[in-house]
Amino acid sequence: MSELLPGDQLHSFPGGLKLRHHKQVSCQQPMARSSLPDHLYLPLVQHQGPPGKLLVSPGESVLKGQPLTTAEDDSQVPIHAPTSGTILAVDQLHPVSWPPGSRAACVVLAPDGDDRQASFEPLADTRPDAVVDHLNRLGLAGLGGAVFPTAAKLRGDWPGLHTVIINGAECEPWISCDEMLMRERTEAIISGGVILARTVGASQVVIALEDRMGTVEAKFARCLREQPPALPVKLRQVTTIYPEGGERQLIQVLTGREVPHQGLPQDLGVVCHNVATAAAVHDAVIEGKPLIERVVTVTGPGIAQPRNFIAALGTPIAHLVAQAGGYTGPITRLVLGGPMSGLALASDEIPVAKGTICILALTEDVLSRRQSEMPCINCGECVRVCPASLLPQQIFRHLAADNLAAAERLNLSACIECGCCAQVCPSHIPLVEHYRHGKHQLIVRQLDQRRAALARRRHEAREQRLVRERAERQARRAERKKRLSEPEQARDEIQAALERARRKQKP
């Protein structure tokens, strides 16, 4: 292995797409703080994992920053009241973003407008476990969109871990929340990165930016010059090729190495956090502020005045859209996230959650299709753009033929669902949906197999037990027969039996 540390030398990853990035649209205006809506709808689950236990009940009044749920372990992440007010209800069926068109439990909070704050307690303790516990208690999850519990990512002993990568390469078109955050909260991001590095015992922080982010790099450089951080912090500009901001691709660019299949970035001595997560870590540790708001980009051709908002979690999307001047006209698709991998929403009543990075309103003309879905012509463009070096068209053919095993032999599970293949497909095949479905089926099948294996093991164990018991019974019977066949012993046996019977009668 070379002595180079991640970021000393930049590499490239295969495939990817150069996309028109449309980011300026929402960067014209500085970030604005969204007003509070009449009601906040706080989904109990805003992270990857099970919900915590509910702590409040309807009618109760809460303070800003007060926890509404608890976490029993790192897989659970509590939610907090974004402002003071009254809990109206727990709506079990409020529209949420995932799965598409579904409903889930949300705490409904009516703000009282006073914004009375619970006491925020900064953390003085710098022991890793204390920091991780603190971050979990304050509700941190990855803010790049995947909302993986931050504590679960940090927990544990990582002896070889040397670098914390702070990911500021958002790389999907239209989204600019990370860029705006980097412009306006540069110091907090650096500070959060250093805290994360100290917590996992890393010796350096690498902040990755896109080369098209204008003044951001200069801003970081100035901050680093004026307030040198406690650890070496490197600034690296990466070329803006989608999906460069994907964790695995960014690691490949910074280290030249690939995260092993079924492995973790930690296997390469690195761990990756989003810039917004780093800023939230700073807020949690230095200010004691729980995760109660985030930056959301509201943009797209369907939005009158696109811009970035600092929104309280639970704010309905429609409330943000209204503050962005409303819709320009009829919109056909409302996307949560970016255009390449975002999720189409069924309604704009859906509340902002920890993973809500961007609201993209698309109009008819953006999506006009000139052709219906055609058969795959094996043009191979998908092969050339796949960042995971897969054969998308071959995998698709196997999936279309219901041949899951063949699809998995071509490493279906290595697909990161970036959408590059579907974007360039001249036959307009919704490839990513096929892969998602295929992966899901693989998981279901693995579960089935595991269950079947368990059932077989149980059955075999039972069969063995029955055989064993029968053999034991026969052995006992043979033993007794043998004893009865000898007159001497038979008399003793009979005597003993009579004795036993007599004793039983006595009392």
Partner 1 sequence: MSLELAGAPHLPPRRTVGDIMRDVLYAMVPAVIAHVWFFGWGIVFQIALTIAFGLVLEMLMLRARGRPLKPFINDYSVVVTAVLLALCLPPLAPWWIAATGMLFAVVIAKHLFGGLGYNLFNPAMVGFAAVIVAFPGELSNWLAPRALSPGLPTPGETLTAIFTGRLPEHLSWDAISQATPLEALRTGVQEGRLVSEIHSEPIFGDFGGRGWEWIANFYLLGGLWLIYRRVISWHVPVAVLATVIVVSLPLWLLAPDAHPSPLQHVFSGALVIAAFFIATDPVSGSATLRGRLIFGAGVAILTLAIRRFGAYPDGVAFAILLMNMLVPLIDRYTVPRAYGHRT
432-491 binders of partner 1 (CB under 8 A) = 432-433, 436
Q: How near is the Cβ of 340 to partner 1 at its closest, in Å?
A: 5
Classify the phi-psi angles of 201: left when phi > 0, otherwise alpha if psi is within -120 to 50, otherwise beta: left
Under the criterion CB under 8 A, does residue 266 sit at the interface with partner 1? no
Residues 6+ away with beta carbon under 8 Å from 309: 31, 32, 33, 34, 295, 296, 298, 320, 323, 324
Q: Are 427 and 377 in contact (CB under 8 A)?
A: yes
From candidates 344, 404, 441, 442, binder to partner 1 by CB under 8 A: 344
Q: Can you point out the beta strands (E) in 239-340?
A: 270-274, 293-299, 307-312, 333-336
- Is 306 an interacting residue with respect to partner 1 (CB under 8 A)? no
By CB under 8 A, the residues from 109 to 138 that bind partner 1 are none
Q: Look up residue 81 and give its amino acid.
A: A
The angle, 0 to 180 degrees and rounded to 10, between the axes of the packed helices 275-282 and 186-200 is 80
- Minimum CB–partner distance for residue 325 and partner 1 (Å): 16
Contact between 18 and partner 1 by CB under 8 A: the answer reads: no
Shortest Cβ distance from residue 352 to partner 1 (Å)? Answer: 17
Rounded Cα gap, residues 422 and 341, in angstroms:
11
- Rounded Cα distance between 429 and 126, Å, is 52
Within 167-206, the residues that bind partner 1 by CB under 8 A are 173
Of 152-160, 162-170, 279-287, 427-435, the window that binds partner 1 (rule: CB under 8 A) is 427-435
- Please choose, out of 218-226, 346-354, 463-471, 488-496, the segment that lies near partner 1 by the rule CB under 8 A: 346-354
Q: 134, exposed or middle or buried, with CB in 10 Å at 0-12, 13-18, 19+? A: buried
* C-beta closer to partner 1: residue 352 or 432: 432
Helix (H) or strand (E) holding 88: strand 85-95
Residue 256 contacts partner 1 per CB under 8 A: no
Q: Which stretch binds partner 1 (CB under 8 A): 33-41, 117-125, 192-200, 366-374?
A: 366-374
Nearest to 315 by CA among 359, 279, 346: 359
Nearer Cβ to partner 1 (117/441): 441
Using CB under 8 A as the binding rule, the residues of this chain from 402 to 421 that contact partner 1 are: 410-411, 414, 416-417, 419
Piece of the chain touching partner 1 by CB under 8 A; list 118-126, 132-140, 391-399, 459-467: 391-399
Q: Does 271 bind partner 1 (CB under 8 A)?
A: no
Number of residues that bind partner 1 (CB under 8 A): 71
Of the candidates 26, 163, 255, 393, which one interacts with partner 1 according to CB under 8 A? Answer: 393
Q: Is 161 helix (H, G, I), strand (E, B) or coil?
A: coil
Check: CB of residue 171 under 8 Å from CB of residue 241.
yes
Per CB under 8 A, the list member of 55, 118, 231, 343 interacting with partner 1 is: 343
The kind and range of the H/E element at 167 are: strand 163-168
The minimum distance between CB 331 and partner 1, in angstroms, equals: 7
Q: Which is nearer to partner 1, 78 or 265 (CB)?
A: 265
Q: Is 254 in the site for partner 1 (CB under 8 A)?
A: no
- 369 binds partner 1 per the rule CB under 8 A: yes
Candidate segments 115-123, 161-169, 308-316, 326-334, binder of partner 1 by CB under 8 A: 326-334
Nearest to 150 by CA among 77, 220, 256: 77
Which residues partner with 242 through β-bridges?
Answer: 17
